[in-house]
Amino acid sequence: MNTISPIDLRSDTVTRPDAEMRQAMLQAEVGDDVFGDDPSVNHLEALAAERMGKEAAVFLPSGTMANLVAVLSHTQPTDEVLLGNESHLFNYEVAGASRVGGVQLHPLPNDASGGLADEDVRTAIREPNIHSPRTSLLCLENTHNRCGGSVLPLTKIQTLSRIAHDAGVRVHLDGARIFNAEVASGTTTADLTATVDSVSFCLSKGLACPVGSLLCGSSELIERARRERKMLGGGMRQSGVLAAAGIHALSHNIERLAEDHENARMLAEGIRRIGTFAMEIPTTNIVVLQVLEGARDDWLLAFKKAGVHASAFGTGRIRMVTHKDVDTSSIEEALRRIAQAAVAVG
């Protein structure tokens, strides 16, 4: 029986609250958030809005719900939403925007940085026509999951926002890992989100909270978002115990993301030396391996048997994500185990 402790690189969502975060949760002041009187939730929402440079914020159970609430709050049924063909919202959110919101999703090609071509966006925005859906929303993503955790440049966000706004189209940013973008680029989240109409970010990824996301925007938008949240069943009651984790994370777990980025680079450089995978050296915490020899699933099984957990990431691709619960010594051990797996597969 294999008794080695696995090194879990499937996602940065696998982290567990540390002792300090658990203590903050234990001591949290609570109320009924649906009535708006949970002081911990109110404090977290105020902190989130301030960090993003927005008027208001609302606490939600998940990033998927945050993105869905954003779409519902910006659109009407039969509208069209422009987004990247590699985006999380298009690939990993069960087409909820179409099912629940009655909107049409119009995917555009993502470039290597997770951005969209300016001309593609201009061309995709529809002229008013009684026969056609109304283009009402453009969705961007930063950092970009399927593009290897790439950081969407500030200038690209500004340009695409200007193109959209000039045509009367609003902009939502899926910023699930926006703090990774802040740390990697040296640009504040407020600057990265200044030209978008709304932004969502996750607490349960790099910030290492057990659950939760925030949606930030204008006071008017967030007022509507609260109604949409309620409709989806996302209104929680004494959720201050969860909000307390987020408050702690915003004070303690942002700057340390640089460690995750360095560990991801170490991991990628070490795996590259094995020679059976192609990859880009990451700028944040996501390493995407393109299998050059053998079958993807055989590699995943070999990694697992060696004590390294990774995830399938499309045809011939494997994803590994560094996070708070995996330190430098764990990465060194993971590389040793991956080398053993390479011998076994070979």
Q: Which tens digits make up the pLDDT trace of 289-327?
A: 999 988 999 999 999 999 999 999 999 999 999 999 999
CA 63 to chain centre: 7
Q: Which tens digits make up the pLDDT trace of 224-275?
A: 999 999 999 999 999 999 999 999 999 999 999 999 999 999 999 999 998 8
pLDDT at position 91: 98
Q: Which tens digits make up the pLDDT trace of 154-197?
A: 999 999 999 999 999 999 999 999 999 999 999 999 999 999 99
d(CA 56, CA 48): 8
Mean local confidence (pLDDT), 266-285: 94
Q: Which tens digits make up the pLDDT trace of 67-85?
A: 999 999 999 999 999 999 9
Domains of the chain: 19-252 (3.40.640.10), 256-345 (3.90.1150.10)
d(CA 247, CA 240): 10
**Half-sphere exposure of 76 toward its Cβ, with a 13 Å CA cutoff?**
2
**Residue pointed to by tokens 């700057």:** 255
Q: Which tens digits make up the pLDDT trace of 83-92?
A: 999 999 999 9
pLDDT at position 343: 85
pLDDT at position 121: 99
pLDDT at position 330: 98
- Greater confidence (342 vs 52) lies with 52
pLDDT at position 2: 55
Q: How many CB atoms lie within 10 A of CB 39?
A: 14
Tell me the three state secondary structure of residue 151: coil
pLDDT at position 1: 40
The per-residue pLDDT of the chain, averaged, comes to 97
End-to-end CA distance of the chain: 23
**Long-range contacts for 108-113 (Cβ within 8 Å, ≥24 apart)?**
108/82, 108/83, 108/84, 109/84, 109/85, 110/84, 110/85, 110/86, 110/144, 110/146, 110/147, 111/147, 112/147, 112/150, 113/144, 113/147, 113/150, 113/151, 113/152, 113/153, 113/156
Tell me the three state secondary structure of residue 133: coil
Tell me the three state secondary structure of residue 88: helix
DSSP class of 93? S
pLDDT at position 13: 97
Answer yes or no: is pLDDT of 48 > 90: yes
Q: How confident is the model at residue 345 (pLDDT cuts 50, 70, 90)?
A: confident
Q: What are phi and psi of 184, to 5 degrees?
A: -70, -35
Mean local confidence (pLDDT), 148-157: 98
On the question of a cis peptide bond just before residue 143, with omega within 30 degrees of 0, the verdict is yes
Q: Which tens digits make up the pLDDT trace of 119-136?
A: 999 999 999 999 999 999
